[in-house]
Amino acid sequence: MRVLDSVMRSERNKNLYLLLAILFHNFIYPFSVGQGPRPVFFYFVFGSMFVFGVLLLSKRRTERVLTAVLGLMVFVFGLLNAYDLNTWALPLLYVSAIGYHVMIIIVLVRYIFLAKRVLAEVILAATSLYLVFGSIYTAIYGFIEWAAPGSFAVSSGAELGWQQFLYYSYVTLTTLGYGDITPVGFYAQSAAMFQATLGVLYTVILLSRLVSLYEPPEGQRT
């Protein structure tokens, strides 16, 4: 029994570390631009958090290696773009970031939907997955704007960057829709529509999954 409790605590801690890393990464997004050491710190966190997440939650060598490669690409292309060292770094950053997110999504979806019971680690993993859905669309929206400039309209006239796309992504995912950033291009509108739908459906599907996994205490079973 003690061994089982130890394993459960270990799984819970792994998912807690990943969730805290994602929250910290979102908090320091302003560090992604500017000079000095701030972009280095930001892209180190960004390029390593999913690598450690996959190492902790997946035993598949292919997933671990591929995530590590994509994480390194995010780090390198992120710095090249932050310091204006390569004009092609920005689209490469977007593409590698999308692939990087896809890897952790695969691992988390498998972890959540193959679980046999509702435990704290499953709830933590589900929360991380929701945040990852917001984070990946930051790169998707950025790539759309790079490929088709003017796909988004900003009421303030400010230039769109990583921070603005992160903000817009979570506003769309949660269906808040403040309206200060508006998708006006066809691809931007399609992506925003799909993300808003994903945000709603994820909640419904997840709740259904958790309810189906729930087992009442033995004393309450009929």
- The full DSSP string for 80-107 is HHHTT--TTHHHHHHHHHHHHHHHHHHH
d(CA 85, CA 80): 5
pTM to 2 decimals?
Answer: 0.87
Report the C-alpha gap between 16 and 102 in whole angstroms.
20
In three-state secondary structure terms, 154 is: strand
Amino acid letter for position 173: L
Topology of domain 2-220, CATH: Helix Hairpins (1.10.287)
So where are the chain's domains? 2-220
Q: From first to last of its 222 residues, what are the pLDDT tens digits of the chain?
A: 444 345 445 778 888 999 999 999 989 988 887 778 999 999 999 999 999 999 999 999 999 999 999 999 999 999 999 988 888 899 999 999 999 999 999 999 999 888 777 777 888 898 999 999 999 999 999 999 999 999 999 887 777 888 889 999 999 998 887 888 999 999 999 999 999 999 888 888 877 777 766 555 455 555
Sign of CA dihedral 146, 149, 152, 155: positive
